[in-house]
Structure 1
């Protein structure tokens, strides 16, 4: 099962998910930033680039019997630092809004 909470879509079954992913009209490029997890739940943080823009992607994957049984993906666009908190923050190493 694959869920996109932001659009309310749910895709069931390996074949349906494969068709959904394979039918995307744009060339997509993924940069994996981090993968972390334990036992049956793993999370990946990525940047996905396509159609001249980039989005951050977080994917939560749940496993059973060494297979993904449920994946939930969240997509978010980059945003700049608001002036009110600029003095409190430091840049993340190797990351800027322009790179996202």
Structure 2
């Protein structure tokens, strides 16, 4: 799968995630894919389990992609995942094998107030 095809698959994946289209969202994964959440020490094995775990999540979710970078079999998406109106800045690292995701690792960071000590050099993001 060439880089343009992978990027298109990722864009479809994140659009489906934002639309809560669980079937389309999970087409990007291999049957034996693994999803890792290092911060909670969890991993989920298998596309069906990944999809079920996400469908069972009760919060209202929105996804806003900030950027997608990568090439070959390694792709990174930086996005804002909003649960019930609360943003979490998120990084997804996806490893591809034969055109499908075989491993995804997700990291989450909650927003925080800017530090006063650096305020003279800081510009606020939009």
TM range (shorter): 0.7 to 0.9
Q: CA RMSD in A?
A: 1.0
Quick check: 1:21 aligned with 2:54?
yes
Query: CA shift at 1:91, angstroms?
Result: 3.0
Tell me by how many angstroms 1:87 deviates. Answer: 1.4
- Normalising by structure 1, we get a TM-score of 0.87
Task: Select which of 57, 72, 82 maps to 1:39.
Answer: 72
- Equivalent residues, number: 93
Q: Which residue in the other structure is 1:83 paired with?
A: 116
Divergent runs of 4+, >6 A: none
Q: Where do 5+ consecutive residues of structure 2 fail to align?
A: 1-33
CA–CA distance in structure 2, aligned partners of residues 27 and 51 of structure 1: 5
Q: CA deviation at 1:27?
A: 1.5
Aligned to 1:98: none
Question: Cα deviation per residue 1:27-62 (whole Å; 9 max; x = unaligned)?
Answer: 101011100011110000111112231111100000
SS in 2 for 1:85: helix
Alignment TM-score, normalising by the size of structure 2: 0.70
Q: How far, CA to CA, are the matches of 2:84 and 2:49 in structure 1? A: 24
Distance 2:62 2:87 in 1: 9
Task: Using the TM superposition, give the Cα deviation of residue 85 of structure 1 relative to its aligned residue in structure 2, in angstroms.
Answer: 1.0
Hey, what's the Cα distance between the residues in 2 that align with 1:51 and 1:29?
8
